Structures are given as structure tokens and as C-alpha cells.
């Protein structure tokens, strides 16, 4: 392989943005991977395009923002299991998916439907990671609504009680299955709604989450069995309204 074609290869490989892809392609083309390391900094800069950050696969789990022994009606064992197995598992899976996507960029003759499968997984895992982080962050409080979020709820639902009844109704509609209930401000319509989400990919476009409730069975089955409504009641007692208010302050309300 001449110098020019080798440079082309390295550019192609580096665009893929993955160490795994780099190694594979270099081996396939029988080019010594260590050659890149031996290049001068200037030569590397001229030939190697930096790895794509979009496929970095470097996410790491955020620690629980509250003491799991202090929740009312939700056990430490359940929260730890949820955080370690479901949430952290989703973070690991997202990293693996991103790295796989990077590697696939360099694969010739890859069937589009195979790439589509992994792109779907990217959406699933991203939804799971983001929603779990919102969920854990809005737990650990006293469950007493206040502040801007409460004012906003009253504007759109008439009263806290009416909002809570509809939030619980939406959550209970997901009992025994999977999904999320999300109090969202829609940045497009300018409206506040309790959105129903059957899975990690269900989100109203432009919905800005203020309060997120995990309705997957793994979020309550250990403590409540199939009695999802009891878990929903317990969740409401532990909402961290300071965090909900922080989110309400952070978003831009459409005039």
C-alpha cells in the first residue's frame, strides 16, 4: 500500500471514531497500526481525523442523589437494584451501542436493516438513560409541591389535586406493563401535560420533563408485587419538588 492510499485508509478509519474499528481495518489492510503511533504530531494531524464524539461510548452512571435508606415506602434494596441493574445496565448498553455504530461505519456491504437495528437500540438506550436520570433526580424529597412548578400545575390543571389525580391515572394505566409517566412542558405547544409513554422511546416531541415516574415493573415489583397503584402513591410521597422547581425555572416558557 502506498503512502497516499494508507492515508486515505486512516482518514476513513478515524472517522469511524472507534479504537475497535481502527484496529480491525488496519489489520484487514495489513498496515501496522503502530505506524500511526510513530508518526510525528504534524503528520498525524494531517492524516487522522479526530474520532467522532457522537460515538464515544463513554457515558458513566450518575450516583444516586439521595440516601436510598430514607425513602418512604420504597425500599433501599429495590432502589439499589434499580440503579445497579436497570439504570447502570442501560448506561453500559448505550456505550456498547455507540461503539458498535462506530465500528459499523467502517463495514462495507453492511445491510441497512442491520444498521437500523442498532440505531433503534441507540434510541432505546438513550431514552432509558435520560429518563432514569430524571427519575432518580426527582426522588428523595418530602412530596410537598410548592413554588413555580405548583403555580404552573394550577394554571394548567386547575388545582394540585386535579393534576395529581390525572398523573396517577396516567401512571396506573401503565401498571403491569412498562413505561413512564412524564409531567412535561411542551416547548412547541406551550402546554403542560401528563404524558403517557409505553417505553423508553415514547416521548411527545419537544416535551420538557418536569417530573418523571418510572412505571416499569422493575421499579416496584420487589416491594409491591403487582400492586402498581401502591407504588405510585409511595412515589408521590417522595417527590423532590425542589428539583422539579429547578427544572421549571430552567425551561423557557413559550409566550
Which residues of this chain interact with Fe ion, rule CB under 5 A? 86, 214, 216, 219
Residues ≥6 apart with Cβ < 8 Å to 135: 180, 212, 213, 214
Measured from the CB atom, the residue of 98 and 214 that comes closer to Fe ion is 214
DSSP string of 10-70, one letter each residue: HHHHHHHT-HHHHHHHHHHTT--THHHHHS-HHHHHHH-PPPPGGG-----PPPPSS-TTS
Supply the minimum distance, in Å, between the C-beta of residue 100 and Fe ion: 23
Smallest distance, Fe ion to C-beta of residue 240, A:
17
Least distance to Fe ion from the beta carbon of 54, Å?
A: 25
Choice between 97 and 212, CB closer to Fe ion:
212
Nearer to Fe ion, 214 or 243 (CB): 214
Q: Which is nearer to Fe ion, 82 or 100 (CB)?
A: 82
Q: How far is the CB of 214 from Fe ion (least distance, A)?
A: 4
Burial code of 104-142, b = ≥16 C-beta within 10 A, e = fewer? bbbeeeeeeeeeeebeebbebbbbbbbbbbbbbbbbbbe
Amino acid at each position: 500500500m502506498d503512502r497516499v492510499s494508507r492515508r486515505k485508509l486512516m482518514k476513513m478509519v478515524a472517522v469511524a471514531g472507534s479504537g475497535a474499528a481502527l484496529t480491525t481495518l488496519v489489520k484487514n489492510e495489513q498496515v501496522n497500526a503502530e505506524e500511526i503511533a510513530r508518526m510525528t504530531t504534524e503528520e498525524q494531524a494531517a492524516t487522522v481525523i479526530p474520532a467522532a464524539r457522537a460515538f464515544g461510548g463513554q457515558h458513566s452512571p450518575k450516583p444516586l442523589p439521595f440516601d436510598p435508606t430514607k425513602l418512604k415506602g420504597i425500599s433501599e434494596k429495590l432502589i439499589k437494584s434499580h440503579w445497579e441493574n436497570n439504570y447502570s445496565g442501560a448506561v453500559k448498553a448505550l456505550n456498547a451501542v455507540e461503539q458498535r455504530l462506530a465500528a459499523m461505519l467502517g463495514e462495507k456491504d453492511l445491510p441497512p436493516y442491520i444498521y437500523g437495528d442498532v440505531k433503534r437500540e441507540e434510541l432505546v438506550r438513550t431514552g432509558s438513560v435520560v429518563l432514569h436520570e430524571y427519575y432518580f433526580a426527582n426522588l428523595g424529597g418530602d412530596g410537598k409541591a410548592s413554588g413555580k412548578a405548583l403555580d404552573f400545575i394550577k394554571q394548567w390543571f386547575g388545582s394540585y389535586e386535579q393534576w395529581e389525580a390525572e398523573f396517577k391515572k396516567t401512571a396506573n394505566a401503565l401498571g403491569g406493563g412498562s413505561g413512564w409517566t412524564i409531567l412535561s412542558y411542551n416547548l412547541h405547544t406551550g402546554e403542560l401535560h401528563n404524558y403517557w409513554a409505553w417505553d423508553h422511546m415514547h416521548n411527545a416531541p419537544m416535551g420538557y420533563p418536569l417530573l418523571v415516574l418510572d412505571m416499569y415493573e422493575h421499579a416496584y415489583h420487589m416491594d409491591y408485587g403487582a400492586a402498581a397503584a401502591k407504588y405510585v402513591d409511595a412515589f408521590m410521597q417522595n417527590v423532590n419538588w425542589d428539583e422539579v422547581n429547578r427544572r421549571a425555572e430552567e425551561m423557557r416558557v413559550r409566550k
